[in-house]
Amino acid sequence: MKKVLQVTLGILTAIGGFVDIGDLVANALVGARFGMSLAWVVIVGVIGICLYAEMSGRVAAVTGRAVFDLVRERMGPRTALLNLVASNLVNLLTLAAEVAGVALALQLATSVSYLLFVPLVAFLVWFVIWRMPFEQMERMFGLAGLALLVFAVGLWQLGPDWGSLAHQAVHPSVRSGEGHPTYWYYAIALFGAAMTPYEVFFFSSGAVEEKWTKKDLNLERANVYIGFPLGGLLSLAIAATTAVVFLPRGIAVDHLSQVALPTVMALGKVGLAFLIVGFVAATFGAALETTLSSGYAVSQYLGWQWGKLVRPRDAARFHAVVLVSLILGVMLILTTLDPIKVTEYSLVFSAVALPLTYFPILVVANDPGYMKDKVNSGLSNALATGYLIVITVVALAAIPLMIATKAGA
């Protein structure tokens, strides 16, 4: 049982990071519009995030230092500053979207406007970060997020034509009425959702918080290879439910309430209850991750004391950054900007920032000065280099495609 609970960091990172508000919406939207023909992007994304999360966790376990700390030291303050600014801007958008995601899930349960919940959710996020031990936090939200497995049960209950779903996934094509630029725009959004930068910052900083060492490398790998593929499976299940129910009816997904509808049709009120618990846990977990990631990145760049293991009085600047990030995120959502649009934009901007996050990780993971005998293997390097090329192409194509397709309209 202890071993099982030890993989909760991976599950929280994956449920909160891989199946956050961005993934919930993006996968449902893509399933309703393209069927399973973009399933390959989820698989490519899972392999990519596994590769780089394993690297960042290994770096943390071997050096006892988190990624951002080493990036500044290895790449120099200017490059690291660019990385810091880009990833924190994306992080802020994501944080705002996650807080709104929790509020939207509570709206589904109560029918009270999500805007009224936003300040309450932000306070709870701050309170959990302030008071709850790291391990307890990851177990509570990581495991509650498993309620989202109800998507897979709902899909089975809908009785889909499995052969047709598999055919769409194995023979991807652009449906009539959709343009190739739109298809690739959503492919980039899905890829950005899978490889969101905060996931590796959180995972590596979490590894330091949990005091992982070289002895924990197997545990680290178990976290990565169980957590992220689980998140990927959930993503595919979400896309499949909307592909089965919405695609034949020409329904476009614009709201979290719609993401739930196919499962509600299949499983009724029990399914809805599981979904709401899962939505709250996943988005709350992601809100914790993004808020902490902002504090981690700034503190590690500036060499401040950071983390939840340190008494707040001793890491006052870390907690100040956390609080300011949270307040900025809440202010953004309280402008009444559509949270789903914020989510969609955060995914695309996330794709733009990817090379700035992943290139330094690859450099540090290959530096024997830090990693000694635990540098990347030849296979890891070959795969990681291939992914870096893909990531760079994705980053360059994201904004032009966003303009050309009017953000996927």
Partner 1 sequence: MRVLLAVLVVVGVSGCVGPSRTDGDFELKAGNTAKAVASALSTARLAADAAGHGKATANYVSVILGEAEDDASAAQATFDSYQPPSAAADKLRVDVDDTLSKAIDGLTALRITARRGQIDRLPRISAQLGPVATTLEQIAEKYR
One residue of 3, 78, 180, 269 binding partner 1 per CB under 8 A = 269
Query: What is the dihedral angle through the alpha carbons of 392, 395, 400, 406, rounded to the nearest 10 degrees?
Result: 150
CB 82 within 8 A of CB 220: no
153 part of the interface to partner 1, by CB under 8 A: no
CB 255 within 8 A of CB 340: yes
403 part of the interface to partner 1, by CB under 8 A: yes
Report helix angle 217-245 to 21-34, nearest 10: 40
Which positions from 193 to 232 touch partner 1 by CB under 8 A, shown as an x/- string?
Answer: ----------------------------------------
DSSP run (H or E) holding 237: helix 217-245
261 or 391: CB nearest partner 1: 261
Using CB under 8 A as the binding rule, the residues of this chain from 172 to 191 that contact partner 1 are 177
Query: Which window, 13-21, 158-166, 265-273, 382-390, contacts partner 1 (CB under 8 A)?
Result: 265-273
402 part of the interface to partner 1, by CB under 8 A: yes
One residue of 85, 89, 247, 265 binding partner 1 per CB under 8 A = 265
Q: Which residue has the tokens 């290959």?
A: 366
One residue of 272, 323, 375, 390 binding partner 1 per CB under 8 A = 272
One residue of 93, 261, 277, 394 binding partner 1 per CB under 8 A = 261
Rounded least distance, CB 252 to partner 1, Å: 5
Report helix angle 114-131 to 77-110, nearest 10: 120
Pure H helices in 303-338: 316-334
Rounded least distance, CB 287 to partner 1, Å: 21
CB 193 within 8 A of CB 12: no
407 part of the interface to partner 1, by CB under 8 A: yes
185 Cα distance to chain centroid: 18
5 or 273: CB nearest partner 1: 273
139 part of the interface to partner 1, by CB under 8 A: no
46 or 275: CB nearest partner 1: 275
149 or 265: CB nearest partner 1: 265
CB 288 within 8 A of CB 326: no
Question: Comparing C-alpha atoms, which of 254, 143, 235 is closest to residue 190?
Answer: 235
289 or 344: CB nearest partner 1: 344
One residue of 11, 193, 260, 326 binding partner 1 per CB under 8 A = 260
**Distance between CA atoms of residues 196 and 346, nearest Å:** 9
Binding footprint of partner 1, residue count (CB under 8 A): 28
Give the end-to-end CA distance of the chain in Å, rounded to a whole number. Answer: 48
CB 156 within 8 A of CB 237: no
**Distance between CA atoms of residues 129 and 137, nearest Å:** 8
One residue of 13, 83, 241, 258 binding partner 1 per CB under 8 A = 258
Q: Which residue has the tokens 């008494």?
A: 311
Using CB under 8 A as the binding rule, the residues of this chain from 106 to 125 that contact partner 1 are 107-111
Rounded least distance, CB 33 to partner 1, Å: 10
| 230-250 b/e (C-beta count within 10 Å ≥ 16 → b) | bbbbbbbbbbbbbbbbbbeee
Rounded least distance, CB 20 to partner 1, Å: 20
234 or 275: CB nearest partner 1: 275
Using CB under 8 A as the binding rule, the residues of this chain from 74 to 103 that contact partner 1 are none
Report helix angle 77-110 to 256-302, nearest 10: 150
255 part of the interface to partner 1, by CB under 8 A: yes
193 or 401: CB nearest partner 1: 401
User: What is the CB neighbour count within 10 angstroms for residue 207?
Assistant: 27
One residue of 77, 133, 179, 268 binding partner 1 per CB under 8 A = 268
Side-chain-facing half-sphere of 168: CA atoms under 13 Å:
23
One residue of 136, 173, 213, 257 binding partner 1 per CB under 8 A = 257
139 or 255: CB nearest partner 1: 255
251 sits in the region (left: phi over 0; alpha: psi -120 to 50; else beta) called beta
Query: What residues line the site for partner 1 (CB under 8 A)?
Result: 107-111, 177, 245, 249-252, 254-255, 257-258, 260-261, 264-265, 267-269, 272, 399, 402-403, 406-407
